[in-house]
Amino acid sequence: MKTLLNNIDLNGALFGNSNIGFVPTMGSLHDGHISLIKKSLKLSNKTIVSIFVNPKQFNNKGDYKKYPRNIKKDLKILKKLKVHFVYLPEIREIFKSTNKFKIKLNNQDRILCAKYRKGHFEGVIDVMIRLTQIVNPSKIFMGEKDFQQLLLVKRYIEKKFKSKIISCKTIRGKNKLALSSRNILLNKNNYNKAGKIARNLIFFKKKLLRKKNLKDLISIKRNELKKKYDIKIDYLELRNTKSLRLTNKVKNSRIFIAYYINKVRLIDNF
C-alpha cells in the first residue's frame, strides 16, 4: 500500500492506471467503510481510499474538533485489506485551487440534513468535486447510510465528471445500529438506546405496509421516540427514495431520521 501525502505523489502513483475505484472517507474506519472498500477492490483495478476530515462540511466548530480521528488504526486496517493507495491530504492541499463550479442547492434540496445543517452539503459537494478532479476515478463508492449525501453527490458529480457513483448498503452492528465513526462518542447506555431506536424503526417500517394515514402514524412515532428515549429529533419523515419528496406510500420510500442523543447527532434511514 502506497501512502500519498500530496497531489504530486498522487498523480505520479495513479498515472497510467485505468478503472480506479475511489472510497472517500473521514477516517476512524469501521465495517461500513470496509464494505465500500471491499466492493471497490472487487470492481476496480486499483483502489484508493482518502482520509480527510473536511472542515467545510462541519457547520459547528466543536463538532469538527471532536470528530473521532484514529489514523494509526486506519492505516493498519487499509494495509490488511490490501488497498493500493491511501491519500492523506493536508487541508491546504485540497483547497489550494479554486473551485470553478458553483454549488447552490435548489429550494427542493433544502430538506432533511440540508435544512438542519446549514452549509453542510455545500461543503461536502465542494470537497467531492475537488477530490474527483484530483483522483479522476472511474467509480466512487458511497454508503446508503448517508442517503441524502449519496443522492446529492451523485447528481453533482455525474453531471460534471465521467466518474460513476456506486451506492453501497448500510452496514449495521449486532444491535442494528448503523455503524458510524460517531458511535465512539456514545457511552454504553446511549449506544444501547440508539440500537433500540434502530430496531424500533425497522419494525415500524415493516408495520407501515399494512397501514393508512402514515403521516399521523409517523407523527405519533416521533413523539413516542422522543419521550421513551429522551432524544431531540431534528426530523422523522417518510420520503420517496428517488425524489426525496415527502410521501404517504411505503413503496419506494424510506424513513429518514436525525436525532441528538446526549449531544451526539446520529442519522439513519430504513
Positions annotated as catalytic residues are 33
Applying CB under 6 A, the site for ligand AMP has a residue count of 17
C-alpha cell at 61: 466548530
Nearest residue (CB) to ligand AMP, 73 versus 228: 73
Nearest residue (CB) to ligand AMP, 74 versus 237: 74
Q: CB under 6 A: which stretch of 30-38, 62-70, 80-88, 89-97 binds ligand AMP?
A: 30-38
Alpha carbon 40 to chain centroid distance? Answer: 16
CA-CA distance, 25 to 206, in Å (whole number)? 31
Q: Binding to ligand AMP by residue 37, rule CB under 6 A?
A: no
In 3D, which of 12, 13, 40, 44 has the Cα closest to residue 25? 40
What are the backbone dihedrals phi and psi of residue 234, each rounded to the nearest 5 degrees, phi first? -75, -50
How many of the other CB atoms lie within 10 Å of CB of 27? 20
Q: Binding to ligand AMP by residue 128, rule CB under 6 A?
A: no
Q: CB under 6 A: which stretch of 33-41, 62-70, 199-207, 252-260 binds ligand AMP?
A: 33-41
Site residues for ligand AMP, 148-187, by CB under 6 A, read 168, 170-171, 178-181
Nearest residue (CB) to ligand AMP, 31 versus 230: 31
Q: Binding to ligand AMP by residue 26, rule CB under 6 A?
A: yes
Nearest residue (CB) to ligand AMP, 8 versus 71: 71
Q: Are strands 139-143 and 85-87 parallel, antiparallel or unpaired?
A: unpaired
CA-CA distance, 253 to 246, in Å (whole number)? 9
The DSSP element (H or E) to which 261 belongs, if any, is strand 253-261
Helix 214-229 vs helix 188-208: crossing angle, to nearest 10: 160
Q: Binding to ligand AMP by residue 36, rule CB under 6 A?
A: yes
Which residues contact ligand AMP (rule: CB under 6 A)?
A: 25-26, 32-33, 35-36, 142-143, 145-146, 168, 170-171, 178-181
